Amino acid sequence: GAVVSQHPSWVICKSGTSVKIECRSLDFQATTMFWYRQFPKQSLMLMATSNEGSKATYEQGVEKDKFLINHASLTLSTLTVTSAHPEDSSFYICSARSPSRGPTDTQYFGPGTRLTVL
Amino acid sequence: DAKTTQPNSMESNEEEPVHLPCNHSTISGTDYIHWYRQLPSQGPEYVIHGLTSNVNNRMASLAIAEDRKSSTLILHRATLRDAAVYYCILRTSYDKVIFGPGTSLSVIP
């Protein structure tokens, strides 16, 4: 299957600083990537859809000025958590949609990035 | 969006088959049934998907009811590595994947 990587796998930062998380599709070009957030013992929540070369589309309730998304190339999307606070501590997971190989496509997920804000 | 209903949790003995049910009574004709699973502290992993016919791959089998209002993910021989949260998701082509609570599967040695 297709491979999606994330970097870093975990990060600890101080409150008020910004953190950038990278998401890469390693063996396919992804025109669309997605960012999810997952709190302990909860399901994944979609934050935003990132399209290469255009502005991201944010889900309702997600602050676009706080969670900056850039999708500059077909294999890289970045999520920057600006002015992070302890409540932003979470597991952030990206996903890339593979080119359609049939009647429907598949989303492949990265391994996740654990963010802890002190 | 069409919704799915899954049991919160299930248990299985190791090396026995596991049948994970999913109800989707409001499924539309263009909805595909997708299954993903998430192992602890990892990102979700694609398992299988289907439209009307039963599907098999190296990971699992998907049995779809004739009226498509329910489906069952079948793991033929559960191993300890199959302990995960399993998500049943409906989506049309190019839809984003929206996760529900899923079923937490425990595998007993």
DSSP-assigned letters across all residues of B14-48: TTS-EEEEEE-TT--TTPEEEEEEE-TTS--EEEE
Q: Name the residue in chain B with its Cα closest to that of A5.
A: B43
Query: Of the candidates B7, B27, B22, which has an alpha carbon nearest to the alpha carbon of residue B67?
Result: B27
Closest listed residue to residue A78, CA positions, set A9, A13, A25, A21? A21
Report the 3 state secondary structure along A43-79.
CCEEEEEEECCCCCEECCCCCCCCEEEEEEECCEEEE
Tokens at residue A45, please? 């929540």
Q: Which of A39, A44, A49, A60 would you mutate first to test chain B, the one with the most B CBs within 10 A?
A: A44
Distance between first and last Cα of chain A? 37
Q: Cβ–Cβ contacts within 10 Å for residue B102, how many?
A: 26
Cis ω before A8 (30° cut-off from 0): yes
Nearest residue in chain B measured CA to CA from A110: B43
pLDDT value for A56: 92
Question: Averaged over A2-10, what is the pLDDT?
Answer: 92
B40-49 pLDDT, tens digit per residue, is 999 999 999 9
d(CA B22, CA B28): 15
Q: In the block, which residue shows the tokens 């990206």?
A: A94
Closest CA to A75 of A47, A53, A56: A53
Q: B-chain residues within 8 Å CB-CB of A6?
A: 43
pLDDT digits (tens, 9 = 90+) for A27-68: 888 888 999 999 999 999 999 999 888 889 999 999 999 999
Q: Kindly report, residue by residue over B96-107, the tens digit of the pLDDT.
A: 888 999 999 999
Give the minimum alpha-carbon distance from B89 to chain A in angstroms, rounded to a whole number. Answer: 12
**Contact residues, chain A, for B92 at CB < 8 Å:** 104
Q: Report the pLDDT value the prediction gives residue A105, as an integer from 0 to 100.
A: 67
